[in-house]
Amino acid sequence: MSMSRRSLLQMVGLAAGTATMYQAMTTLGFAQESSYTGPVRLEGDPQGAKVLILGAGLAGMTAALEMRAAGYEVEIIEYREKAGGRCWTLRGGDSYTELGGATQEVEFAEGNYLNPGPWRIPHHHYAVLDYCKRLGVELEPFIQENHNAYLHRQEAFDGQPQRYREIATDYRGRIAELLAKVTDQGALDEEVTEEDKRKLLDSLVEYGMLDENYRYVKSDHTSEYRGYETWPGGGLDAAPVPSEPISLDRILQSDLWTWLVEAETTHHQGTMFQPKGGMDMIAQGFEREVGDLITYNAKVVSMMQDENGVTVEYEDLANNGEKVTRTGDYCICTIPFSILGQIEHNLSGDKTAIIDSMYYAGSVKFGLEFKRRFWEEDERIYGGISYTDLPIALISYPSHDFFKDGPGVLLGGYVWGATAYQFNAMQPEERTKWAVEYGSRIHPQYTEEFSNGISVAWHKVPWVLGCYGIWKDREADYETAAAVDNRVVLAGEHISYLPGWQEGAILSALDAMQRLHAQVVNGNTGDTQ
């Protein structure tokens, strides 16, 4: 029976952990580190050429920052009233109106926030990290995996959430016990040498917390990993009481093991980071450098090019939609294809077909504020994620302001696929109501402690109409989409192999500007790779 590479990687991750899975992914061509090698250098004189940049997300602002430094005249045209695009944070006092007209007023207490878009930065997203350093954006650790968080399925363990460490430790121990027993009984004699067999058994005893008879049983040793029934203390009656491991069949039937590899993919391995105060601190860092180049509240309706330059027309949303025209020698367009497909343009037929064929993933996020940080005070959960098969999918606990008195905000759900469409059909207050209802099945404190909340359904976000771009046939279309089209080049997370990540947006912009710059200084026009 053949096995898919994804299934193989999942087995490797479950059995051997992060390091081995990373090696396997690298061998199979999946685990590629960022291609960023340092600040870009645009050699050659652009002779004052003007570049119009459409969109003030991270891709657009990266291009503006570097191209102005290289001697270009730069103008950014941005739909929103602020920069950042999907690098976006909602705080108390903010107001957000989604497609359809529903407006939500954010009532979070000072210092609390929700990142509706990106919310974490992997340690190997070198471009994002480098720009944060250059722009003075202070970072702090983001906790992805927390062994004290929960795993939960409605039909498992009578609906009671289980501590991550108990499922992870017991699954590991039970699998190690099985493999050790079949190895000891000679079932692998044709597969391994006698020396390797001995080494394998030694490693399984260590890795699986097994006793001298290769059993995973209730003991002080196993409780050091899965936790105790009574934890060790001080003074009289302070001796710990070991806890009873869960049987393998109960773990297997629960399906809770399916979440054990969530933190093992290369994009989620520690260390991860977040900006202090909200993800849009990165956008604000860029905005401090290039904000003077940005025209805000400008809805692009046309992008046309000829042999002499590019003409962009936009509606000035701050002045009753008055039509304004801007011209430049070249254009970097970072507008998502979900929006670009609705704009008049004269890009090549091949590019147009690709733009029209890309659809955007749907996702919904919930920011729920509670009167107190009960997950810390009652359950000793500091950061990390609990997973559930309820429609909210997960609960992520804040990785900042630990032990702070007063209200705190949870990411009360992060929903994809068909479930996201169901939430899309609801009004914001109904979405929030259900997020609280579902969350209370994991944390009963929800009902008593809930204060206020907000939700963002990405298919209803006017400036993108989705979460990130999904290719119909990336292998066939990618190079065509990325190529310079006469005087226009496209950039953004959708023109990258890191869809949905800020790193992809920045790398795409750096690549696009370098190829456009080469065309400018060499005097070439036409499609170039």
Tens digit of each residue's pLDDT, the chain (529 residues): 344 444 444 444 444 443 344 344 433 434 456 778 778 889 999 999 999 999 999 999 999 999 999 999 999 999 999 999 999 999 999 999 999 999 999 999 999 999 999 999 999 999 999 999 999 999 999 999 999 999 999 999 999 999 999 999 999 999 999 999 998 888 877 787 888 889 999 999 999 999 999 999 999 999 999 999 999 999 999 999 999 999 999 999 999 999 999 988 888 888 999 999 999 999 999 999 999 999 999 999 999 999 999 999 999 999 999 999 999 999 999 999 999 999 999 999 999 999 999 999 999 999 999 999 999 999 999 999 999 999 999 999 999 999 999 999 999 999 999 999 999 999 999 999 999 999 999 999 999 999 999 999 999 999 999 999 999 999 999 999 999 999 999 999 999 999 999 999 999 999 999 999 999 998 765 555 5
Which backbone phi and psi does 80 adopt, to 5 degrees? -85, 175
The SS3 assignment for 256 reads helix
Residues 367 and 451 in one domain: yes
Residues 480 and 356 in one domain: yes
Looking at residue 455, what is its pLDDT? 98
Residues 110 and 175 in one domain: no
CB neighbour class for 212 (10 Å; exposed up to 12, middle 13-18, buried from 19):
exposed
Looking at residue 31, what is its pLDDT? 42
Count the Cβ atoms, other than its own, within 10 Å of residue 207: 18
Q: How big is the chain, counted in residues?
A: 529
Q: How far is CA 493 from CA 280, 317, 461, 482, in A?
A: 17, 26, 17, 11
Would you say residue 156 lies in a domain? no
CATH number at residue 253: 1.20.1440.240
Would you say residue 183 lies in a domain? yes
CA distance 229 to 314: 66
Residues 365 and 275 in one domain: yes
Residues 305 and 177 in one domain: no
Looking at residue 269, what is its pLDDT? 87
CATH number at residue 385: 3.90.660.10
Domain count of the fold of the chain: 4
Would you say residue 529 lies in a domain? no
272-290 core/surface letters (b: 16 or more CB in 10 A; e: else): bbbbebbbbbbbbbbbebb
The SS3 assignment for 47 reads coil
Q: Whole-model pTM above 0.75?
A: yes
Residues 354 and 372 in one domain: no
Residues 347 and 477 in one domain: yes
Would you say residue 2 lies in a domain? yes
Residues 384 and 450 in one domain: yes
Residues 199 and 331 in one domain: no
CATH number at residue 498: 3.50.50.60
Would you say residue 42 lies in a domain? no
Residues 275 and 393 in one domain: yes
CA distance 178 to 214: 9
Looking at residue 348, what is its pLDDT? 96
Residues 334 and 411 in one domain: no
Would you say residue 198 lies in a domain? yes
The SS3 assignment for 195 reads helix
The SS3 assignment for 202 reads helix
Looking at residue 190, what is its pLDDT? 79
CA distance 346 to 305: 7
Looking at residue 524, what is its pLDDT? 67
CA distance 231 to 237: 11
Residues 445 and 515 in one domain: no
Looking at residue 117, what is its pLDDT? 96
Would you say residue 57 lies in a domain? yes
Of 288, 300, 172, 145, the residue nearest 226 (C-alpha): 172
Would you say residue 70 lies in a domain? yes
Residue ranges making up the domain that contains 21:
1-31
Q: How far is CA 171 from CA 269, 365, 485, in A?
A: 20, 31, 54
> Which of 210, 226, 259 is the last residue before a domain boundary?
259
